Amino acid sequence: MPGFGVCRQLLEYIEAKGAADAQALAKALKCAPEVVVGAIKSIQTFENVINVAEVKQQLWQFTKDGQDALQKGSPEVRLMSVIPAEGIAASDLEASPVYKGLGDAAKPSIGQAMKNKWIAIDKSSGAVAYVRKVTEVPDETQKVLAQLQKDPSGKSTDDKVLKDLKKRKLVEQKSVTTYNVTKGSAFTTTLRKGEADLTADMLADGSWKSKDFKPFNLAADGVPVSRGTLHPLLKVREEYRQIFLEMGFEEMPTSRFVESSFWNFDALFQPQQHPARDAHDTFFMTAPETSASFPADYEERVKNTHENGGGYESIGYQYNWERSEAEKNLLRTHTTAVSARMLYKLAQQKPFKPVKYFSIDRVFRNETLDATHLAEFHQIEGVIADYNLTLGDLMGTLHNFFTRLGIHDLRFKPAYNPYTEPSMEVFSYHAGLDKVVEIGNSGMFRPEMLRPMGLPEDVVVIAWGLSVERPTMIKYGYSNIRDLIGPKVDLTAAQSAPLVRL
């Protein structure tokens, strides 16, 4: 905002003259037009002090060459300073500093001087030379430019002359908005800031009676309300949690990010040579490097089941199970490690009671990072343990679960997991992407996983898992996962993303 001084000078000028436009004011107050416009805007915040009319004008403005012509003389007159009466060779003229100084206007200035009949071409010596025909060269061009500077509207300059100046690229016409200022109904040269607030003191001492109050500005934007927001992923996690709770599921404790290979792999009947147990896929811990204790009798049954089927109508994997391999600590690669711990715990409670469990939390994989893969992501997992469940129960539960998410058209494809049989990948047609996309993985936990835990023979456990990130990206149109999570996330994104307000 320009100082009060400029506003005051402006008002005093208007008081004296009655009216003025912004250009005239800039000249009179000796300040830049922007400062005048700023002052006008400031004064307008006081009601009816001035009336302002916006005027669009076509004004003539000087190009760089035009400004040079105005200050140093027109190109043709400057050219004449190097052309003597006896003439000059074209090559000598072109080499002269004056000619060079004329820049783009140099060549046309020769044409102009010829047109004015100031010079003539002489070819008698074979090469081109210019000879001077007049002694005086009055600078008409500079004169009309000066005239135009005084009245940039061009009204006091001949149209043909203007056209010629424009063609010679000395001037150009620009559309300029200016303001016409006149006195308003409450005109004053002394601006007084109105009171913004009526205070208790003003009421107590009666001073409110003599104060001017600012009118209410009902069109002003409100101050943005500061508020906390859920990160999009937390928001989606909350939606899944609600769905599970509505379906009668209980949440499993998922705070254990560091897990032993035993619970992450061995308990899930994942053989110790399985490629997922390689450092290429899994982050192993250096400190603490190993876990020491597992329930002894359970460990023994797991070992036997891996080696020879443990007597559960299976022949196992037929290899020597090593405790040292099971001891290795890692960052859990799936939340099924949590499900394994919970099912083991459940199996210890007699008599068996059917349960429905869910979890939503972070898992870690040694992935090649790209637009859709990170080394950390979140998994959603649902588990139901009950007597005599069938594949139909799993498919029905998945239909129920995904319907609540607004996904109806499920397709199943046989798949393989070491711990489930049968296993099914779950797909759905996505209208937005116009293609069938994978939305989850599922299966019935194998007896080789459940029986060593001590679960009754006729108890069947169905389970499924999916990532939080993938459906979030699809649903909310994120094409790069790094816009959703990680160090490159825009910190204000959680505030401004429309989805967190739904």
Interacting residue ranges for ligand PHE, rule: CB under 6 A:
334, 336, 381, 417, 420, 441-443, 463-465
CB nearer to ligand PHE: pick between 310 and 443: 443
The first and second tokens of residue 332, run together, are: 């859990």
Taking the complex as a whole, the smallest distance from the CB of residue 420 to ligand PHE amounts, in Å, to 5
Taking the complex as a whole, the smallest distance from the CB of residue 450 to ligand PHE amounts, in Å, to 13
DSSP state of 276: G
CB nearer to ligand PHE: pick between 6 and 384: 384
C-alpha span between 1 and 44 (Å, rounded): 12
Taking the complex as a whole, the smallest distance from the CB of residue 302 to ligand PHE amounts, in Å, to 18
Q: What share of the chain is helix, strand, coil (3-state, %, to 5)?
A: 40, 25, 35
Taking the complex as a whole, the smallest distance from the CB of residue 281 to ligand PHE amounts, in Å, to 11
Taking the complex as a whole, the smallest distance from the CB of residue 333 to ligand PHE amounts, in Å, to 7
CB nearer to ligand PHE: pick between 183 and 362: 362
C-alpha span between 62 and 45 (Å, rounded): 35
Task: Give me the phi and psi of 346, to 5 degrees please.
Answer: -60, -40
Which residue lies nearest ligand PHE, judged by its C-beta?
465
CB nearer to ligand PHE: pick between 80 and 340: 340
Whole-angstrom CA distances from 489 to 120, 261, 331, 495 are 73, 33, 24, 12
CB nearer to ligand PHE: pick between 66 and 465: 465
Taking the complex as a whole, the smallest distance from the CB of residue 243 to ligand PHE amounts, in Å, to 17
Angle in degrees, 0-180, between the axes of helices 22-29 and 33-44, rounded to the nearest 10: 110
Q: Burial, 462: exposed, middle or buried (Cβ in 10 Å; 0-12, 13-18, 19+)? A: buried
Taking the complex as a whole, the smallest distance from the CB of residue 344 to ligand PHE amounts, in Å, to 16
C-alpha span between 399 and 39 (Å, rounded): 67
CB nearer to ligand PHE: pick between 21 and 386: 386
The first and second tokens of residue 258, run together, are: 């560091």
CB nearer to ligand PHE: pick between 65 and 381: 381
Taking the complex as a whole, the smallest distance from the CB of residue 485 to ligand PHE amounts, in Å, to 18
- Decide: 271 and 310 in contact? Cβ < 8 Å: no
CB nearer to ligand PHE: pick between 68 and 381: 381
47: left (phi over 0), alpha (psi -120 to 50) or beta: beta
DSSP states along 374-442:
-SEEEEEEEEEEEET--HHHHHHHHHHHHHHTT---EEEEEEEETTEEEEEEEEEEETTTTEEEEEEEE
Question: What is the CA 76 to chain-centroid distance, rounded?
Answer: 55
Taking the complex as a whole, the smallest distance from the CB of residue 223 to ligand PHE amounts, in Å, to 47
C-alpha span between 247 and 399 (Å, rounded): 12
C-alpha span between 298 and 458 (Å, rounded): 19
CB nearer to ligand PHE: pick between 102 and 462: 462
